[in-house]
Structure 1
Amino acid sequence: MNMRFGMWLSGHLLVPRGESKYARLRLVRSAALIAIVMIPLVLALIFMDGMMNGITDKYILLQDGHIQLQVADQLFDSQFAASSIDPRIASADYVVSGYGIVYSRDTTSEVRIKGVDLSYFNDQRMSQLEFSGDPLKKEGSLAAVMLSTTIAQKLGVEVGQRVAFMVVPDSSSSVVRPVLANVTALYESGYHELDSSLLFMNRDDALRYFPKDRNAYTELLVFRDHVDDLGDVVASLESTLDKNFPYATWDEFNGTVYQNFITSRQVILLVFVMILLVAGVYVSSIAQEMIQDSMQSIALFKTLGATNSNLSWAYFCSVMVVTSIGMVAGVALGLLIGSQIGVLLHWLGNSGLAGLQYYLLDFQIVISWRDILAISLAMLLISSVTVRLSLGRIRKISPLEMLQQD
């Protein structure tokens, strides 16, 4: 009987009858406001995950790779030779890397110089870049380089023009080497921070300016499904080639950058929780309004034998159903809008707003179902606690309340 009464009362609260037009509007309004809270949270989560994953992919594919084998000599004859040893490896490239200062007539720019072969720009890397010109095409004795459009605009140079470098081969040498290079192409990755510091040079030219025993290594890319198996991949190569390789992984090359990503993500999720706490307080106010409007009814039910637990459970279920409906609607609308956010980001990227150049706006939409589920569960948990606290008021309502007149 108690269960049937609780279900009847809960249904009556969710679908008010008769003259309770205000009660119906209140429930719709409450669900709508909860949905409005959830929509920006879902959009922020999609934007955060997409941008961070996109930036990480660009650093991995263009600057560092997943694994760097710190061996001066070339280990593989071709880019895909390592794949025959371990199919988890997407490519292996012999790379020379160093630092220098590139300058034109009017200004200078500090850059990381990465010496690569033309085969370095495989399909994975090409998906991250836009080119103009002939990448690293060698003409004459001048070094062939490819600048980003960001660096080229800063220096005021174009494809076919020349730039000068000051290259310091290693920290133990005080000899600064001047280099004259021909700009054969320009690239753009879409991320200003990377474009402002990365320059590609023909590998043969780079080997002339940077000693390979300090600056040469083999850069490995693995398939996305195996980014957590990097240690096993290296062990597989060592076993097959019967050598031990000193190596470093992608999260070690730019430890500060990736740690900042992790910290930023944690802070943002903490902000989400604070917003959900405020939303939980609002949900508790729904319960308080329902109790305030039903005080005489509650007193009558108590007179007829209903217990505090029966009444509390009925009101709790009603409020949580409204909360769940609003939350599901908000998440669904957030996902729907988020799936089209690329159009808005593309428009913003082309708007020319100066502040946006430091953000990556061209990235693949990523939906983290685990995070969405976590936020939804946090919303339900916080709401259930605040509603339970609010429902304690039912215990204070006396059956004598039914004698009060409206």
Structure 2
Amino acid sequence: MYIPDKIKQMSLLNKYLPFEVWIAYRYIKFKQKNSFISFISMTSMVGIALGVSALIIILSVMNGFQDELRTRILGVASHIEITSSNNTLTHWEDLVKKLHESPDVVGSAPYVDGQGMLVSEFGSQGIMLRGISSELEGNVDNLEKKVKVGKLSDLKPNTFNLILGIDAAKQLGIVVGDKVNILIPQGSYTPAGTFPRMRQFNVAGIFEIGMYEYDSGMALMNIEDAQKFFQMNNTISGVRVKTDDLFLAPLVAKRLSESLSESGVFYVSDWTKKHANFFAAVQMEKRVMFIILMLIIAVAAFNIVSTLVMAVTDKRSDIAILKTYGAKPKSILYIFIIQGSLIGLIGTISGVFLGTVVALNIHSIVPFIEHLFNVQFLSKDIYYISEVPSKLLYSDVSAIAFISILLSIVATIYPSIKASNTSPAEALKHD
């Protein structure tokens, strides 16, 4: 006996799946007879998919922005800084020895900080001056890798060499080999009065951190030259400390503050305090964007309500026939819950796939769009960074997918209950 292939497929589905799943699947399929309902189902899927993918992409970009910014800030700043009340530390070698007694401290370096005015033949601008030890600086940051022209080791004592940020060099028309003057507010006393102290420096290198704040407003010099220039004798501004885990820096800073309290008055600050407002703002923006985009997913998910309400109205005679054949109200309830859940599940899986692909390849997609339309999304002189970063966290993806599916299931409850309460006599009265 010949059995059509379609009947065979239906038999296999009925064999391995509960009939509620099979009927729900049949209701979702796009048919000419129920094309409008199928179209509404499709738009619900697309809405959920777009909402899920947009949320994954935006959260990945914000995670990447936060991570990239933290990396760049800590490339110049330090996990912990130790200073004194008058911004000068004496006998700092003894302090460093005491710091390294802590197992959490993996590196330290002294520094001298000051402010001045950088003057060239093309103009002048304020600059943050930092005196460093080229031998010890690598213990606390990766400045050596940021020097594009020259080397950090060129900052030798008594040479009065300077390594300048790339944006400051461009703005003032400075290249390696030029000589520039730096004025500082500390006065030089002369018979004619008090004048700002000025010194000529040799530009020995150019660095690029990737953050406009540092690239346009910071210059590096040898720590001994800085001590002479600022007339600090053998004192320093402070000691920078690197910890084994940057996220444990607040805890380590607290321990160091307690252990150093016996030796004198020291101020111990960690990177989370110095940039607390900024990272708190980024975290707040991330939460707000999550809520806003989750509302978009909720709107798309609750489109399932209208889809199922129309489906229940359209399938009243089918429901009545199923009940006549012995289907229980619970089975009818499951059919429409499964139908709505399948719409949400398909939309969520599609959105997760699309969002994950875009988030993992955003470093290629954004430059392509910028080149295609000749635009720049992040201007370096306005934003902290000039590239769109992305960091996909699978915990975020899991949370988004779970909430999306949960909203889809919740949206099916009312129409499904209405379908299960359908009376066969009422439904078939006009048929």
Same fold (TM over 0.5): yes
Q: What TM-score do the two structures reach when normalised by structure 2?
A: 0.76
Q: Which residue of 2 aligns with 1:197?
A: 217
Aligned partner of 1:319 among 340, 347, 357: 340
Aligned partner of 1:135 among 144, 147, 152: 152
Q: Which residue of 2 aligns with 1:104?
A: 120
TM-superposed CA distance for 1:270, in Å, is 2.5
TM-superposed CA distance for 1:65, in Å, is 1.0
**Mapped contact 1:85–1:237 kept (Cα < 8 A):** no
In the alignment, structure 1 residue 290 sits paired with structure 2 residue 311? yes
Q: Which residue of 2 aligns with 1:265?
A: 286
Q: Residue type of the partner of 2:58?
A: A
In the alignment, structure 1 residue 401 sits paired with structure 2 residue 414? no
In the alignment, structure 1 residue 13 sits paired with structure 2 residue 24? yes
Deviations 1:79-99 (A, max 9, x none): 9x7896344333211112222
1:99 and 1:313 mapped to 2: Cα distance? 72
TM-superposed CA distance for 1:30, in Å, is 4.7
Q: Which residue of 1 aligns with 2:322?
A: 301
1:111-122 matches, cutoff 5 A? 111-119=127-135, 120-121=137-138
Q: Which residue of 1 aligns with 2:61?
A: 47
**Which secondary structure state, in structure 2, belongs to the residue aligned with residue 14 of structure 1?**
helix
Q: Which residue of 1 aligns with 2:7?
A: none
2:197 and 2:127 mapped to 1: Cα distance? 15
2:216 and 2:272 mapped to 1: Cα distance? 21
Gap regions ≥5 residues in structure 2: 1-14, 188-193
1:227-376 matches, cutoff 5 A? 227-232=247-252, 235=255, 239=259, 243=263, 245-303=266-324, 306=327, 308-345=329-366, 353=376, 355-357=378-380, 358=383, 360-361=385-386, 365-376=390-401
Q: Which residue of 2 aligns with 1:385?
A: 410
In the alignment, structure 1 residue 161 sits paired with structure 2 residue 178? yes
Deviations 1:63-91 (A, max 9, x none): x3111112413645899x78963443332
In the alignment, structure 1 residue 88 sits paired with structure 2 residue 104? yes
The percentage of counterpart residues that share the same residue type is: 18
Cα RMSD over matched residues?
4.0
Q: Residue type of the partner of 1:47?
A: V
User: In the superposition, relative to structure 1, how do residues 101 and 389 fare at CA in structure 2: closer, same or farther (>3 Å)?
Assistant: farther
**Mapped contact 2:253–2:269 kept (Cα < 8 A):** no
Deviations 1:287-318 (A, max 9, x none): 33432432222233345565555423331133
**Which secondary structure state, in structure 2, belongs to the residue aligned with residue 85 of structure 1?**
coil
Q: Which residue of 2 aligns with 1:59?
A: 73
Instruction: Choose 105-114 or 392-401, whichever is displaced more.
Output: 392-401
Gap regions ≥5 residues in structure 1: none
**Which secondary structure state, in structure 2, belongs to the residue aligned with residue 227 of structure 1?**
helix
TM-superposed CA distance for 1:203, in Å, is 1.6
2:249 and 2:288 mapped to 1: Cα distance? 28
TM-superposed CA distance for 1:54, in Å, is 0.7
In the alignment, structure 1 residue 144 sits paired with structure 2 residue 161? yes
Q: Residue type of the partner of 2:400?
A: I
**Mapped contact 1:136–1:202 kept (Cα < 8 A):** no
Q: Which residue of 2 aligns with 1:185?
A: 205
TM-superposed CA distance for 1:139, in Å, is 7.4
1:283 and 1:209 mapped to 2: Cα distance? 72
2:48 and 2:79 mapped to 1: Cα distance? 42
User: In the superposition, relative to structure 1, how do residues 32 and 164 fare at CA in structure 2: closer, same or farther (>3 Å)?
Assistant: same
Aligned partner of 1:35 among 49, 63, 72: 49
**Mapped contact 2:127–2:217 kept (Cα < 8 A):** yes
User: In the superposition, relative to structure 1, how do residues 268 and 163 fare at CA in structure 2: closer, same or farther (>3 Å)?
Assistant: farther
1:74 and 1:331 mapped to 2: Cα distance? 58
**Mapped contact 2:110–2:236 kept (Cα < 8 A):** no
TM-superposed CA distance for 1:367, in Å, is 2.2
TM-superposed CA distance for 1:15, in Å, is 4.1
**Which secondary structure state, in structure 2, belongs to the residue aligned with residue 180 of structure 1?**
strand
The number of residues matched between the two structures is 395
Aligned partner of 1:216 among 218, 222, 237: 237
2:30 and 2:360 mapped to 1: Cα distance? 42
User: In the superposition, relative to structure 1, how do residues 315 and 338 fare at CA in structure 2: closer, same or farther (>3 Å)?
Assistant: same
1:353 and 1:392 mapped to 2: Cα distance? 52
2:350 and 2:218 mapped to 1: Cα distance? 44
User: In the superposition, relative to structure 1, how do residues 293 and 233 fare at CA in structure 2: closer, same or farther (>3 Å)?
Assistant: same
Deviations 1:96-138 (A, max 9, x none): 2222332333433333222212231469515872511233624
**Which secondary structure state, in structure 2, belongs to the residue aligned with residue 146 of structure 1?**
strand
Structure possessing the higher radius of gyration over alpha carbons: 2
Q: What TM-score do the two structures reach when normalised by structure 1?
A: 0.80
User: In the superposition, relative to structure 1, how do residues 363 and 93 fare at CA in structure 2: closer, same or farther (>3 Å)?
Assistant: farther
Q: Residue type of the partner of 1:98?
A: G
TM-superposed CA distance for 1:325, in Å, is 3.0
TM-superposed CA distance for 1:39, in Å, is 1.9
1:154 and 1:387 mapped to 2: Cα distance? 62
